[in-house]
Amino acid sequence: MKALFAFIRKEITEQIRSGRLWLLLAVFVFFGIMNPAVAKLTPWLLELLADSLAESGMTVTDVTVSAMDSWVQFFKNAPICLIVFAVVQSGVFTREYASGTLVLSLTKGLARYKVVVAKAAVLFALWTACYFMGFAITYGYNAYFWDNSVAQSLAASVFFWWVFGVWVIALSVLFSTLFQTNTQVLVATGGSAFACYLLGLLPKVKRVVPTLLTDGNALIYGTSDAQAYTVALIVAAVTAVACIFLSLLAFNKKQL
Amino acid sequence: MDMLCISNLYKRFGDKEVLRGLQLHVPQNSIYGFVGKNGAGKTTAMKTVLGLLRADAGEITVNGERVVYGQTETNRYIGYLPDVPAFYPFMTAREYLLFCGALTGMLHAELEGRISELLALVGLDGETHRIKGFSRGMKQRLGIAQALLGKPKLLICDEPTSALDPVGRKEILDILLAAREQTTVLLSTHILSDVERICTDIAFLHEGVIAASGSLAEIRTKYRRNLYRIETEEASQCELLISHLRGMQRVGENQLSFCEEDCSLREVLRFLSEESISVIRLEREEPGLEALFMEVIGK
Ligand SMILES: Nc1ncnc2c1ncn2[C@@H]1O[C@H](COP(=O)(O)OP(=O)(O)OP(=O)(O)O)[C@@H](O)[C@H]1O
Ligand SMILES: [Mg+2]
């Protein structure tokens, strides 16, 4: 236990001193502010453009924005945040393979599974902290400017998107134990998520693939209810757990 | 009891057989020199002992316990200094040692004192910069410190002195010599003068097996050959000796060396007086380890 905590502490220190923690916090705060800001500025922007739009035959009627527009922005920007997160953290394992720093820790008697557990735990915690901070900022502004209650099933939609992030991170942990470089990890993780997205285009499997969890708009507009996401949620949870389990096995056999 | 036992160890990389039935027994409290040329497989053998490489065949025990690839149980007896030690660059030397101590489960109270002691021992006390800016020599010293941290029963050092200047080298050798009181040391090296200086035992690794091993004294007697060097007044006299006697080897303008086994000293002396060759010098050479090594690997 002591060894595990020591390794977790080392991971956190590394996140802080390498500047990765601050970079991610900055990105998530930025988008947390941008979501309501874009919604707030939309009418003003349209007014500015009204003349030129009118020339091209479009008439701008009075636009009213609500918290809804801000939440739509939230779900539009969440993928960008997740991609930034995945890219910034893609070297968590591979950097150690390249430099050979794990060798000494392991020869000190640190059990191999603790390396995976510590790194995965720090990644999940970091994702959770960053994501919900971004959410809290957006929520706060929305409550101040408008009214959050217009968005239906808001809690569920936000929770589902968080689970999707966890799923992607679990994939990247698995690929980190299988591959040697962070490019390979990114390509494999991105490839898998994209393959899921493509599968999700087929009506028959749409309800099953984890990428369904990213469809927050359907929930807040009430065109879909949270129940419809159950299967995808279970699939995501099961595959995420399986990924972590497999990565423990793979890491035990990895040549360092 | 032997601290480390390697029996019949085989390891290949692709179609390259690096170890071919390696046998090695390292007795307790010895300083064991593991010698072999570049690419002989010293690092490979050591990494297998640490469970970092999978052996194709063979058995390894450390302190009587079997080593299993991918598991770290036996590593609690071992302190390891890799050939190129890699540390977390964002930590200071003290932080790194604290981290290592926590990994081995040492108590914090005990750890603080031990770390100060070790940092002083390797000359890194007062060094508050992060490891990022350390020179190779400083990293090597930190490497020794982390290897000794847990008071290991077996200290494995892969070429501990190769990155160091003569002063640093002497210091590290002295540290290893002092460590012998509490631990067994296995060190690989090409620097045979280091071996002569501190090792009690030695093994020559050649073509995947131990070509010769034993205590330093044993090896010396076993491979002792009476080697002579002779210097004549003129070069032409050397030619004469070469053409008439067996085993004469030219080692300089008018210098030859020969081995008692090829041509007896008596025979040489008789020839010298018969031919009235004027000799400047005739002396017996004490072969160093270097020559022994060449001899063992058949060069
Ligand atoms: N991971 C690997 N994959 C392929 N070949 C390897 C690997 N590791 C070592 N080798 C090969 O095994 C041989 C032995 O290497 P090793 O590093 O054990 O030698 P060494 O005795 O430590 O040499 P040196 O004195 O240069 O450190 C070399 O020919 C090397 O090319
Ligand atoms: Mg080597």
Q: Are residues B143 and B56 in the same domain?
A: yes
B230 in contact with A, Cβ within 8 Å: no
Question: Can you tell me the mean pLDDT for B28-36?
Answer: 92
**Residue B42 alpha carbon to ligand 2 centre in Å:** 6
Note which residues in 13-42 of chain A have CB less than 8 A from chain B: 13-14, 17-18
Q: What is the mean pLDDT of chain A?
A: 92
The distance from CA B51 to its chain's CA centroid, rounded to whole angstroms, is 21
Q: What is the mean pLDDT of chain B?
A: 88
Query: How near does any CA of chain B get to the CA of A58, in Å?
Result: 58
Q: Are residues B157 and B270 in the same domain?
A: no
CATH of the domain at B199: 3.40.50.300
Asked if B227 contacts B274 with a C-beta cutoff of 8 angstroms, the reply is no
**Position A115 pLDDT exceeds 80:** yes
The DSSP string of chain A is: -HHHHHHHHHHHHHHHHTSHHHHHHHHHHHHHHHHHHHHHHHHHHHHHHHHHHHHTT---PPP---HHHHHHHHHHHHHHHHHHHHHHTTHHHHHHHHHTHHHHHHHTT--HHHHHHHHHHHHHHHHHHHHHHHHHHHHHHHHHHS-GGGSTTHHHHHHHHHHHHHHHHHHHHHHHHH-SSHHHHHHHHHHHHHHHHHHHTSTTTTTTSGGGGG-HHHHHTTSS-GGGGHHHHHHHHHHHHHHHHHHHHHHHT---
Asked if A50 contacts A16 with a C-beta cutoff of 8 angstroms, the reply is no
Note which residues in 87-106 of chain A have CB less than 8 A from chain B: 99-101, 103-106
Closest residue CA from atom 8 of ligand 1: B44
Q: Are residues B210 and B236 in the same domain?
A: no
Structural domain harbouring B249: 227-296
Q: Are residues B26 and B173 in the same domain?
A: yes
User: Taking CB atoms and an 8 Å limit, are A104 and B50 in contact across chains?
Assistant: no
Region of poorest pLDDT, from A50-59, A109-118, B192-201: A50-59
Residue pLDDT, tens place only, A19-67: 999 999 999 999 999 999 988 888 888 788 777 777 777 766 667 788 8
Query: pTM score, two decimals?
Result: 0.84
Q: Are residues B65 and B184 in the same domain?
A: yes
Question: Can you tell me the mean pLDDT for B177-205?
Answer: 89
At which of B192, B221, B250 does a domain end?
Answer: B221
How many angstroms separate the CA atoms of B170 and B34, rounded? 18
Question: Can you tell me the mean pLDDT for B68-94?
Answer: 90
Region of poorest pLDDT, from A5-19, A96-110, B163-177: B163-177
Q: Encode burial over A163-200: b for 16+ CB neighbours within 10 A, e otherwise.
A: bbbbbbbbbbbbbbbbbeebeebbebbbebbeebeeeb
Q: Which residue has the higher pLDDT, B294 or B102?
A: B102
Q: Are residues B217 and B246 in the same domain?
A: no
At which of B221, B254, B286 does a domain end?
Answer: B221
Ligand 1 binding pocket, CB closer than 6 Å: B 13, 18, 36, 38-44, 83
CATH of the domain at B243: 3.30.70
Q: Are residues B14 and B128 in the same domain?
A: yes
Q: Are residues B185 and B124 in the same domain?
A: yes
How many angstroms separate the CA atoms of A230 and A237, rounded? 11
Residue pLDDT, tens place only, B128-144: 999 999 988 889 999 99
Cβ neighbors of A154 (< 8 A, separation 6 or more) are: A71, A148, A219, A220
Q: Are residues B191 and B283 in the same domain?
A: no
Q: Which helix (H) or strand (E) holds B79?
A: strand B78-81
Tell me the Cα Rg of chain A: 21
B102 in contact with A, Cβ within 8 Å: yes
Q: Are residues B210 and B282 in the same domain?
A: no
Q: Are residues B173 and B190 in the same domain?
A: yes
Q: Are residues B91 and B196 in the same domain?
A: yes
A204 in contact with B, Cβ within 8 Å: no
At which of B180, B195, B221 does a domain end?
Answer: B221
Residue pLDDT, tens place only, A202-242: 988 888 999 999 998 888 888 888 888 999 999 999 999 99
Question: Which ligand lies nearest to the CA atom of residue B14 in the structure?
Answer: 1
Q: Encode burial over A50-64: b for 16+ CB neighbours within 10 A, e otherwise.
A: eeeeeeeeeeeeeee
**Position B81 pLDDT exceeds 70:** yes
pLDDT band at B78 (very low <50, low <70, confident <90, very high): very high
How many angstroms separate the CA atoms of B236 and B271, rounded? 15
B152 in contact with A, Cβ within 8 Å: no
**Residue B216 alpha carbon to ligand 2 centre in Å:** 22
- Report the number of distinct structural domains present in chain B: 2
What is Dmax (Cα atoms) for chain B?
80
- Interface pTM (ipTM) of the complex? 0.88
pLDDT band at A9 (very low <50, low <70, confident <90, very high): very high
